[in-house]
Structure 1
């Protein structure tokens, strides 16, 4: 009985190695067609991976481990005659009035509680000798740091009793500390903020949650603030909000005190409720306050008091919009078109070498071995397409970052902050390319394995 030609191959330890050798020979026979398939796969992968990378960053929950502990507090104190958002009338305003925030903050139910807003200031000092610069700052209560698991490089936050009356203490971002003190441990040193001296008590480590879930009003994907100061400095310095301030009621706002007593919504409030029982108690507390204020003539709209966890909050605020989902679908559709073209090219390539497969079949190779041989060839093409697609994806994301560059050193915002590869993106690109290309190559490989060898042998 004649031995099968694939049983013992000189110089090859495995059939896989033999199939790889055959694949390389096939590539040399049809280099143009092979390159065309690699490029087709790479383009589909590049577009798809770029879109997935940005979509994943936009739709992620940056503090998922606390999703069922952190809750955004909202109440519908808006105009009785029309909703805050006419397109989504069921939603309350995303922020609170000063008086409502202060009353709810007085509750001792939450484990941690935060009232805050974004502001703008001018900072100077440090050892760098730089000129005063305009910076963003967050006026917040002390629980901001432990509540949101904010990491510190040096020092820490301030105590609760430093909120009001406010102590002249400040927390710097890592980037701001680099600018002012060259990255040194600046705890205990002083800076001047809005012509007042503040003592540095902490410097943050790298921290840039995407989306910036705790305040979506000024940009869901903007960088966190440069500095953080105790809550009491807001009213004390009459520091206006640099975020969204929405008012519905005609009021005389001649002084800052008038503004604090107004129906304008401009403050964000979050609470940490570790148990379902704490959540129920907090909801009851909010509802009781709503009923009290309604009896006094406020809150004339239907009751709409909400405690939204992080995932619910991101969904309600439409951080990921329908347009983004459409783009994701189009990216996969483009990948499908590229793979369909690849199927046609593979079929043409395999059928052009069907005579060689027919000879191997006649010499004893089984259909399964012919199928495996061509599937290995598809795998090599897929891997090459994945690597090229990964390179094109990186170039595409680099282009996105350059396109949205603000021109200010160290400042990133919006989509630019999302256009970054991570390990998950690399793995996803490789897996997506290989799996999709193997799926596309399954039919051509199966088809060539079904070709009767006799017809090709007669033609040789």
Structure 2
């Protein structure tokens, strides 16, 4: 029976082409607009590290003065130098990493190699396995190399292509901030969106191009900063002294493989805060947090408010388009009153007429959805031309393609409910008599 209804819908579509085209255009415009912003929202709110997000946690402690005016009840996002060292030395986590970033001057250790500034991430050895970063050449440095302040470096594929034409560069040398470094590995380009590990540097900023051991990086001539530094002393302190006690800047992540392990680590953070309070370093009662990746991103609200607002506006446009489609469907179905009356007189039930009209609405939605996809691609292209940090990463992926057509069909069917109900209520006697 559904095939028969579909056949009638195709005939009706061909018979009233102008009216059908207007309905398709209304649905296409609504779907194109809604899918553009829904895709942007989807891209920005995805899981940046799906294989690890439920076991990676971001610890926070609160070393701020008790009388700090206007203090946020939340502890600082990052750690001070002393707390970073202390927490890094604590047991309880399967893996842990200290990390931060800056720009460093770099050139290849060959004659006439140009000096260039490169975005750099400093980290301890566990970072690569913790964050599921894949190597294409070599491997990460070891914990012993961390401890020995080894001058080694890991490159990204992009930087390796630029410096060594994509060849295996393991064992080659670079001069970084006047020091000689040996390449030990090359990773595939890694750019999680959002950048969960360093949202204060920009949740959708460009990725770093090379990675250095954290403690080796600390011993470089530091005229280049230490990433985002938040200070609470009156002087703002710390600009060139990362070890000042009143500035937080070190990002710290731990891997906790079970809820029991996470609960135990949280208790350890509380005990650590009590201990530091007894030593006179902390003035506040224990104020700690331990959030996994998704909770951390939710807390930081990494999705721009404008994107959420524009998404609501886009669905408002879809609603307006559907209201227009309702009017056009009513006009189309009522123009077929004579045909509907004859079918009713021949024994068709109201239910059959209702389903026939909904099938026709669904066909309009299907065609409108197909026509809306190019409009969504155009909308996303326009988004990518905007000067926003997240613009370059916005793409219409398979999940969004799978959403587009069902959304169009369901929207059109819902828009067709009232017109179909009106059409099913046509009196057969009056229509047959008037004809």
TM-score (norm 1): 0.87
1:106 maps to 2:89 = yes
Q: Which residue pairs with 1:29 in the alignment?
A: 15
Alpha carbons of structure 1 residues 127 and 388: separation in structure 2 relative to 1, 3 Å: farther
Q: Which residue pairs with 1:71 in the alignment?
A: 57
1:314 maps to 2:300 = no
Alpha carbons of structure 1 residues 280 and 28: separation in structure 2 relative to 1, 3 Å: closer
Q: Which residue pairs with 2:364 in the alignment?
A: 381
Structure 2 CA distance, aligned partners of 1:137 and 1:429?
40
Cα deviation digits, residues 299-336 of structure 1 (max 9, x gap) = 22332122111122112212135554443333333322
Q: What are structure 1's unaligned runs of at least 5 residues? A: 1-14, 405-412
Q: Which residue pairs with 1:163 in the alignment?
A: 146
Alpha carbons of structure 1 residues 253 and 33: separation in structure 2 relative to 1, 3 Å: closer
For residue 202 of structure 1, report the CA deviation from its aligned partner: 1.7
1:431 maps to 2:415 = no
Match of 2:231 among 229, 236, 247: 247
Moved more, 204-213 or 330-339: 330-339
Alpha carbons of structure 1 residues 252 and 28: separation in structure 2 relative to 1, 3 Å: closer
Q: Which residue pairs with 1:399 in the alignment?
A: 382
Q: Is the 8 A contact 1:37 1:345 kept in 2?
A: yes
Equivalence map 1:159-198=2 (5 Å): 159-198=142-181
Match of 2:183 among 197, 200, 210: 200
Number of aligned residue pairs: give it.
434
Moved more, 344-353 or 246-255: 246-255
Q: Secondary structure at the match of 1:163?
A: helix
Structure 2 CA distance, aligned partners of 1:252 and 1:319?
26
Cα deviation digits, residues 139-184 of structure 1 (max 9, x gap) = 1101100111112222221111111322122111122122222223
Alpha carbons of structure 1 residues 276 and 27: separation in structure 2 relative to 1, 3 Å: closer
Alpha carbons of structure 1 residues 294 and 371: separation in structure 2 relative to 1, 3 Å: same
Q: Is the 8 A contact 1:49 1:393 kept in 2?
A: yes
Structure 2 CA distance, aligned partners of 1:158 and 1:173?
14
Moved beyond 6 Å, runs of 4+: 126-130, 251-255
Q: Is the 8 A contact 2:37 2:314 kept in 1?
A: yes
Structure 1 CA distance, aligned partners of 2:77 and 2:121?
18
Alpha carbons of structure 1 residues 414 and 255: separation in structure 2 relative to 1, 3 Å: closer
Q: Secondary structure at the match of 1:237?
A: coil
Structure 1 CA distance, aligned partners of 2:46 and 2:152?
33
1:49 maps to 2:35 = yes
Equivalence map 1:327-342=2 (5 Å): 327-342=310-325
Match of 1:442 among 417, 427, 430: 417
Q: Secondary structure at the match of 2:402?
A: helix
Structure 2 CA distance, aligned partners of 1:127 and 1:185?
16
Cα deviation digits, residues 59-116 of structure 1 (max 9, x gap) = 2222244333211011112243236x75xx2211101111110111011221100111
For residue 271 of structure 1, report the CA deviation from its aligned partner: 0.8
Q: Secondary structure at the match of 1:302?
A: coil
1:143 maps to 2:126 = yes
Structure 2 CA distance, aligned partners of 1:278 and 1:25?
65
Structure 2 CA distance, aligned partners of 1:323 and 1:114?
33
Structure 1 CA distance, aligned partners of 2:236 and 2:8?
84
For residue 18 of structure 1, report the CA deviation from its aligned partner: 4.3
For residue 251 of structure 1, report the CA deviation from its aligned partner: 6.7
Cα deviation digits, residues 201-243 of structure 1 (max 9, x gap) = 2222242211110110111112321110111222210434452
Q: C-alpha root-mean-square deviation of aligned residues, in Å?
A: 2.5
Match of 2:340 among 342, 348, 357: 357
TM-score (norm 2): 0.92
Q: Secondary structure at the match of 1:403?
A: coil
Q: What are structure 2's unaligned runs of at least 5 residues? A: none
Q: Secondary structure at the match of 1:214?
A: helix
Moved more, 369-378 or 224-233: 369-378
Q: Secondary structure at the match of 1:342?
A: helix
Q: Is the 8 A contact 1:20 1:376 kept in 2?
A: yes
Alpha carbons of structure 1 residues 348 and 95: separation in structure 2 relative to 1, 3 Å: same
Q: Is the 8 A contact 2:196 2:293 kept in 1?
A: yes
Alpha carbons of structure 1 residues 360 and 105: separation in structure 2 relative to 1, 3 Å: same
For residue 435 of structure 1, report the CA deviation from its aligned partner: 1.1
